[in-house]
Copies of this chain bind each other. A is one copy, B any other.
Amino acid sequence: MAATAALREIRDEAKDRPVFPPPSLTARPIDRAAWIAAFHHVRDETERRAAPLSPEDQQVQSMADASPTKWHRAHTTWFFEQFLLRDHMPGYVLYDERLHYLFNSYYVAAGPRQPRILRGLITRPTTAEVAAYRTHVDRAVGALLAEAATEALATLLPILEIGLYHEQQHQELLVTDILHAFAQNPLGPAYDEAWRFPRPQGTPGSVPLPSGVTQIGHAGEGFSFDNESPRHDALIQGGAIDRSLVTNADWLAFMADGGYARPELWLSDGWLAVQAEGWDAPGYWRHGEDGWASMTLAGIRPIDPSLPVTHVSYYEADAYARWAGRDLPTEFEWEVAARDGHLPDAFGLVWQWTRSAYTAYPGYRPVDGALGEYNGKFMSNQFVLRGSSVATPGGHARTGYRNFFYPHQRWQFTGLRLSDARA
């Protein structure tokens, strides 16, 4: 009776806590149930995101940068089977060895893999077979977590944890990739008719940036990716950063002022992209009889001037800032302002381009083994984005989170916030 009451109490307490993120790896005693709940929460979210999609939808790869929904579902499953079950569950037999070639992404150390560009050609296993693969691995991971000795959990949980954050990244890609695929269809299908972009809360004006040396990078007990470390000193020059995101109304003014036709506003590589791609508006915008509209997760919708502009590349963000006589913030300026709570709309609307090239923090070394391929090998030719977007799963992002994309890419929910650098 007392035991039951205690258990109920624990559960009641858990109800108030979000299931994700899971507890800190260093928390003791280890809350096994919380980790199992976090695992199923993340796995279920992937399925929830795939649910509106037909087998045909899940098959398609609409460009080299994107992947089929089916592939995302299988690859995230492969990740747990490869790094958790195969290496750490005694007696575990691979569900189907052939899947390891098909669903490895870019982990060279984990063996050969299907060329990225050909992912969309793999019609078998089917969507249903991938669902069965997921179910199998979910059960095995659930059993492993439930039955592992407490000491073993110290080894398992760090792998589990990175697997969960990894799957969340693919959840975001799943949504942005299918939006890209649907945008190729002249019929403009909707992923979710009821979807709406959230309204921003930012107010006009900017907040000053404190000049001086400060600490940047991950600290404390929660999860972070390796590219957020080591924590180190950085110098903030001062200046100020806007409280609000650049809006569609702002962008229409840029367009009206010839923004896409004035080479002096653009980086040299950006101007090449404008000409090669024929850009004259943000991604997915199309001009119709009733003015500008955009392909969205709810299908084709008129542009709402009050919403943040999204699907702009770094080149466009940079040109806009030059046009406005302003700057993009550095990633450190953004981080300092965000951790002080001065950036409304930092999270949940659009990733915000910074003018920081994506490079290693001083003294950074990737972790050993295949998981070391996670972040470090992309540290050239990309720019850092901070915050998170409407497609980012809950609990995934944080102030120190470093997202990165090539400056020409714009199929993510990417926008911008301006700043004024101190001259």
- Select A423's contact among B124, B269, B362, beta carbons within 8 Å: B362
Give Cα A126–Cα B118 distance, bound, in whole angstroms: 21
Stretch at the interface among A13-21, A134-142, A149-157, A228-236: A228-236
Judge whether A98 and B54 touch: CB under 8 Å: no
Q: How many copies of the shown chain assemble into the complex?
A: 4
Residue of B nearest to A106 (CB): B268
Contact residues in B for A421 (Cβ distance below 8 Å): 362-363
Task: Report, nearest first, the 3 A-B pairs whose CB atoms are least far apart.
Answer: A363-B423, A357-B357, A235-B235
The answer to the question of A10 belonging to the interface, with a C-beta cut-off of 8 Å to chain B, is no
The answer to the question of A194 belonging to the interface, with a C-beta cut-off of 8 Å to chain B, is no
Contact residues in B for A237 (Cβ distance below 8 Å): 232-233, 362-363
The answer to the question of A58 belonging to the interface, with a C-beta cut-off of 8 Å to chain B, is yes
Interface residues in chain A, defined as those with a beta carbon under 8 Å from any beta carbon in chain B = 54-60, 62, 70, 98, 101-102, 106, 108-109, 114, 118, 120-124, 126-127, 181-182, 184-187, 189, 213, 230, 232-235, 237, 239, 263-264, 266-271, 314-315, 318, 355-357, 359-360, 362-363, 365, 372-373, 377-381, 383, 407, 421-423
Judge whether A124 and B189 touch: CB under 8 Å: yes
Tell me what chain A mostly uses at the interface: helix, strand, loop, or mixed: mixed
With A59-B59, A187-B124 as contacts: A359 and B362 at CB distance below 8 Å: no
Residue of B nearest to A69 (CB): B123
Judge whether B59 and A380 touch: CB under 8 Å: no
Judge whether A181 and B123 touch: CB under 8 Å: yes
Cβ of A273 to closest chain B Cβ, rounded Å: 10
Judge whether B270 and A109 touch: CB under 8 Å: no
